[in-house]
Amino acid sequence: MKFFGFVIVCLTGGLLLYGTMDLPDWGDPGSPASTHLSDYYIEHIVEETQVPNLVTAVLADYRGYDTMFETAVVFCAGLACFLLLRDFRPGKDRYFRHVPTGVMLHFKNPDTRLVAGNEFEHMDKEWVPSDMIIKTVCRILIPFIQIYALYVVAHGDFSPGGGFQGGVIFGSSLILMAISYNLKTLVKRVTEKFLSIFAAAGVLIYVGIGVAAMLMGGHFLDYGMLAPLLPSDPGHIRALGMLGVEIGVGIAVMAVMVIIYINIVSEGRHDEGL
C-alpha cells in the first residue's frame, strides 16, 4: 500500500514538474503577463481607483472575485476544522485547585458543579503554575498588537497590509492571550458563537458589498456604483469600497484563525489545552 502511494506521489509530482515546462521564464519581459496586463495596471490604477498601493488595488478591485473566493476558502477551512474536530461529549475528569493552599480537587463525575468563588481555579492536564511575568507583559502588549492590526487593515490601500495580514495579527493577539493565561480565559471572553458569527459575517460583508453594487445598477463588485450611497468624493469611492471589502476579509480571517487554534489545541472539547 505504501508503495502505491509512493508511485502516485511520484507520478503527480512528475506531471506537475512537466506542466511547469510550459510556463514562461521568471521575469521574462516577453511573457503574456508582462506585455499587456502589468503595463495597464501600472499606468491606469492611480487615475482609475485613486489607491496609491497597486497591490491592494489589483487584489481587491481588478481581481475582486479571486479575493472573494479566497475569503470563502478561509471560511471553509474554519468550517472543516469545526466539523472534523469539534467534540460535544461531556468532558472527562476535571481538576480544580484551591489557590491559597494549593489543594487539588478531582471530580470524577462530569455533572458535578463546583459552586465557589474565585478561590478555585480550573486545572488542565498540562497545568503549569501561572507566571506573573508572562501574564503581565502579555496584558500590556495585547492591546498594542490589536491596535496595530486595525491599523494594518485600515491602511491597506496606502501601505503594505490589508485584510488578510491584519486579520492574522488580530487573531494572533487572541491566541497570545490563550497561551499566556489559559484556554478557558480566551473561550470565556471570545465565545464560540461570537467567532462563528464573525467568520460568516466577514464573508457576508464582502459579498454584500458586491451585491449592493449590483442593486445600484452596476456589475458585481463594481465599487464605482456605490457613490450615491456614501456622502464622499465620487472619485474616491473605489478606495472606500476596497476598505469595506478589506474589513470583511479581516474579520473572517481573525475568527477562523482563533477557531482553528481552539479546536486543535483542545482536541475539539474547548475546555483545556495549551
Partner 1 sequence: MHILINIAAIFFLVMGLVFFLGGAVGIIRMPDFYSRLHPAGKLDTLGIFAMVTGLVIYNLHHFSLETLLLSIKMFLIVFFVFLASPTATHSIVDAGMRAGLRPWTQKKKKE
- Kindly tell me which of 16 and 128 has the beta carbon lying closer to partner 1: 128
**Residues 6 or more apart whose Cβ sits within 8 Å of residue 211:** 220
CB of 21 to partner 1, least distance (A): 42
For residue 52, the 8-state DSSP code is S
Binding of partner 1 at residue 83 (CB under 8 A)? no
- Kindly tell me which of 1 and 140 has the beta carbon lying closer to partner 1: 140
- Kindly tell me which of 135 and 236 has the beta carbon lying closer to partner 1: 135
List 131, 160, 189, 264, residue binding partner 1 (CB under 8 A): 131
| DSSP line for 203-270 | HHHHHHHHHHHHHTTS-TT-GGGGGGGS-S-GGGHHHHHHHHHHHHHHHHHHHHHHHHHHHHHTTT-S
**Selection from 139, 64, 127, 55 nearest residue 96 by Cα:** 127
**Residues 6 or more apart whose Cβ sits within 8 Å of residue 24:** 30, 31, 32, 33
CB of 236 to partner 1, least distance (A): 24
CB of 175 to partner 1, least distance (A): 15
**Selection from 214, 210, 218 nearest residue 249 by Cα:** 210
| Grid-cell match 497597486, residue found | 54
Of 11-19, 84-92, 134-142, 210-218, the segment contacting partner 1 by CB under 8 A is 134-142
- What track of x and - describes contact with partner 1 for positions 135 through 164 (by CB under 8 A)? --xx-xx--x--------------------
Binding of partner 1 at residue 128 (CB under 8 A)? yes
Residues 57-76 that bind partner 1 (CB under 8 A): none
**Selection from 261, 265, 238 nearest residue 47 by Cα:** 238
- Return d(Cα 185, Cα 252) in angstroms, integer: 22
List 15, 16, 33, 133, residue binding partner 1 (CB under 8 A): 133
Binding-site size for partner 1 (CB under 8 A) equals 9
CB of 137 to partner 1, least distance (A): 4
**Residues 6 or more apart whose Cβ sits within 8 Å of residue 132:** none
Residues 201-220 that bind partner 1 (CB under 8 A): none
* Contact residues for partner 1, defined by CB under 8 A: 128, 131, 133-134, 137-138, 140-141, 144
